[in-house]
Amino acid sequence: MRSRAELRIPVEWVLRAALIAALAFALWRSLESDESHAAGRALDASGLTGALSGLLANPSVSSVDLTLDAMPTQVERDALRAMRRAGVTVNWHGVAPALALEADRLRDPEGRTRLLMKGETTPLALADSAGVLDTVNAASGASVDIQSVVGQVRAGHGRFAASVREPESVPLHAVLVLGRADWDSKFVMSALSEAGWTVRAKIPTAPGVAVSDKDLLPLDTSRYDVVIALDTTAGDFAPAIARFVAQGGGLIAGAEALGIQSLRALAPSSAQERRPGRILLAEDSVTPRDLPLRALTALRGDAVALERVPAGITVAARRAGLGRVITVGYDESWRWRMLGGSSGLAAHRRWWSSAVGAVAPERGIAPDPSGDGAPLAALIDVLGPASASSAKASNAPTNPLPIIILLIIPGALLIETASRRFRGVP
């Protein structure tokens, strides 16, 4: 009959085997990602990118609780959306500021970009791929016109930012200027040409005689963006202008051109009698408010006043058909260019270019589909509103196997050693 001591020998071998097996298992576990076995995960948004691959590869993750310490990117949002559709419960909580950013290419040959933004936290730092652009107080919304942006434009505060792609360039067509041979016609043409617009014109100089471009007609939106009717010499074109505006073309009508019945029907307002400009001292520079003015009056219900001076409305706009119409009350705007001091030339040029851009048709600019322009809204769209509970899911593994292993190893070692010692084997 075998003694107790002899009986313990196989038991000791079993314990040794268990010990080796446990160690081997622990080693194997250590080589595996500890996350892959998590059933629920609590994450900070700032670390989301690093954690996503593990989360997506592990089918055992059943819930994700996201603390919003930074704004998730579009890719991260899409991943969370995919997890949610795959049955993972995704909650988020935290205080994220509402931010919105939009980048539009102005309809302007200079190709300037207009950034529209609004953000609860201010000031917003504005930057693009090439570096810092500006700092903007946008609590109640702001727009920034900028010469050019490169790559991704970002408006943000700390880790929370909205970003949009650099807008695509806009195709522009010609501008038709109709006016009599005077300085206003000449300098409107000059301003637009210098700003980069392709200008065509018809300027009557005598009965039956005009200075005009070749191939002036047809007047349609495939050739022209905008018609500028400065005075009653546009009368011959009035029916064509009405059709052009109905098609979506833009019209800028000088106050004097409102004497043409069909243009008056399109215009956002009528014009008062001409008021002389301000009397200037020798050293004064002319600004628009110093120009002779035919103040705009009787605005239609759908019209909006774009510019005012103390004497009244100077520029008004409305939509007519598919097009837009602006009426300009300023008279002799050329004086702004010639007598406007050091800034008059550029200001006059930009004003007319902006006016043309304001009524030029929008030609299919695809919006940025990324949704990063309004990241909080996009997040809510993907994940719903923030979770009311801020309880974090336990980060401790719910699987008891590691604890069992942890108990087996010292236990087996202790018992095996004790058994041997009791047998008198060192």
Partner 1 sequence: MTAHTRLLQLRRFLQAALVARAIFVGASIALGLFAVARLGGAPSWSVVVAVLAGLAGAGAFLRPLRLLRSLSNVALWVEERTPSLRYALVTVADGVHSPALEAQALGTVWWSDVRTIVLRSLIKPAVVALVVAVIVLWNPFTGRFLLGSGAGAISGSGAAAQNVDPLAVVHVVVTPPAYAGKQPTRADDPTSVEALVGSAIALTGDGNAALLTATADSASRSIAPRGSGWSLSLTMPARPAIVKLHSSKGRDRLFVLAPIADAVPVVTLLLPAHDTIVRRATGRFALHAQVRDDIGLRDAAFELVISSGTGENFTFRSATIGHLVLSGTIESALDARISLDSLQLKPGDILQLRAVARDGNTVNGPGLGASETRSIRVARADEYDSVAVDAAPPPDTGGQVLSQRMLIMLTEALVKRQRTLSHAVLLEESLRIASDERKLRKRVGDVVFQRMGADPLSEEGAEDLASRGKLTPEDIVRLADSVTGTAGNVMDVEGDETPILAINKPLLEAFNAMWEAGRSLEVGEPAKALPPMRIALAAIEKARQAERIYLRGRPGTEIVDITKVRLTGKDKGVQSIREVRPPIDPVARRRSATFERVTNLMARDPEAAADSLLLLRVEALTDAPALAAALDDAAKALRKHDNSAIPLMWMRVRRVLGDPPVQRAGIAPWQGGLR
Partner 2 sequence: MTDFVFATAQYESGDWDSAPLVPSNVIDSVARYTSIAVAPSGVVVPLSSPSLFRYPLIYLTGHLPVRFSPAERGNLQKYAERGGLLFVDDHNHDIDGVFHKTATEELTRTYGAIHPISNKHPLYRAFFVFEDGPPTTSHELNGWGDNLVHKTLSGVERNGRLVLLYSSKDYSSEWGYHPENKRFMSVDNTKFAVNIVTYALTR
Residues that bind partner 2 (CB under 8 A): 180-187, 190, 193-194, 201, 203-207, 209, 211, 231, 256, 282-283, 331-332, 334-335, 337-339, 344-345
Find the DSSP H helices in 227-374.
Answer: 238-247, 261-266, 334-339, 341-359
C-alpha to C-alpha distance for 255 and 278, rounded to whole angstroms: 19
By beta-carbon proximity to partner 1, the closer residue of 55 and 203 is 203
**x-or-dash pattern for partner 1, window 349-368, by CB under 8 A?**
-xx--xx--x----------
By CB under 8 A, tell whether 273 contacts partner 1.
no
By beta-carbon proximity to partner 2, the closer residue of 157 and 186 is 186
By CB under 8 A, tell whether 145 contacts partner 1.
yes
By beta-carbon proximity to partner 2, the closer residue of 22 and 188 is 188
By CB under 8 A, tell whether 122 contacts partner 1.
no
CB contact set of 2 (below 8 Å; sequence gap of 6+): none
Query: Whole-number minimum distance, CB 232 to partner 2, in Å?
Result: 10
Contacting partner 1 (CB under 8 A), which of 53, 60, 148, 417? Answer: 148
113: tokens are 């970009």
Strands 174-178 and 199-206: parallel
Contacting partner 1 (CB under 8 A), which of 36, 205, 394, 395? Answer: 205
By CB under 8 A, tell whether 129 contacts partner 1.
yes
Contacting partner 1 (CB under 8 A), which of 162, 315, 379, 408? Answer: 315
- Amino acid letter, residue 173: H
Query: Whole-number minimum distance, CB 206 to partner 2, in Å?
Result: 5
Find the DSSP H helices in 177-332.
Answer: 183-195, 238-247, 261-266
How many amino acids of this chain bind partner 1 (CB under 8 A)?
66
Which candidate, 421, 407, 349, 426, places its Cα nearest to that of 18?
Answer: 407
What's 370's DSSP letter?
A: T
> Binding partner of residue 176 among partner 1, partner 2, none, CB under 5 to 8 Å per kind?
none
Residue 49's alpha-carbon distances to 80, 258, 400, in angstroms, are 11, 61, 29
Query: Whole-number minimum distance, CB 171 to partner 2, in Å?
Result: 24
By CB under 8 A, tell whether 110 contacts partner 1.
yes
C-alpha to C-alpha distance for 133 and 144, rounded to whole angstroms: 10
What's 330's DSSP letter?
A: B
By CB under 8 A, tell whether 320 contacts partner 1.
no
Contacting partner 1 (CB under 8 A), which of 134, 387, 397, 405? Answer: 134
By CB under 8 A, tell whether 203 contacts partner 1.
yes
C-alpha to C-alpha distance for 283 and 144, rounded to whole angstroms: 32
Residue with tokens 């546009």: 234
By CB under 8 A, tell whether 140 contacts partner 1.
yes
CA atoms within 13 A on the CB side of 161: 16
By beta-carbon proximity to partner 1, the closer residue of 72 and 119 is 119
Strands 323-328 and 250-254: parallel
| Backbone φ, ψ for residue 48 (5° rounding) | -65, -40
Sequence-distant contacts of 22-30: CB under 8 A, at least 24 apart? 22/405, 22/408, 22/409, 22/412, 23/409, 25/405, 26/405, 26/409, 29/402, 29/405
> Binding partner of residue 301 among partner 2, partner 1, none, CB under 5 to 8 Å per kind?
none
Query: Whole-number minimum distance, CB 354 to partner 1, in Å?
Result: 4
By CB under 8 A, tell whether 222 contacts partner 1.
no
> Binding partner of residue 317 among partner 2, partner 1, none, CB under 5 to 8 Å per kind?
partner 1
Which stretches of 10-112 are assigned E, i.e. beta strand? 40-44, 63-67, 89-93, 99-105
C-alpha to C-alpha distance for 426 and 423, rounded to whole angstroms: 9
By beta-carbon proximity to partner 2, the closer residue of 294 and 318 is 294
By CB under 8 A, tell whether 398 contacts partner 1.
no
Site for partner 1, residues 49 to 108, rule: CB under 8 A: none
> Binding partner of residue 385 among partner 2, partner 1, none, CB under 5 to 8 Å per kind?
none
Residues that bind partner 1 (CB under 8 A): 109-111, 116-118, 126, 129-134, 136, 140-148, 150-151, 193-194, 196-201, 203, 205-214, 276-282, 284, 292, 304, 306-307, 315, 317, 332, 335, 347, 350-351, 354-355, 358
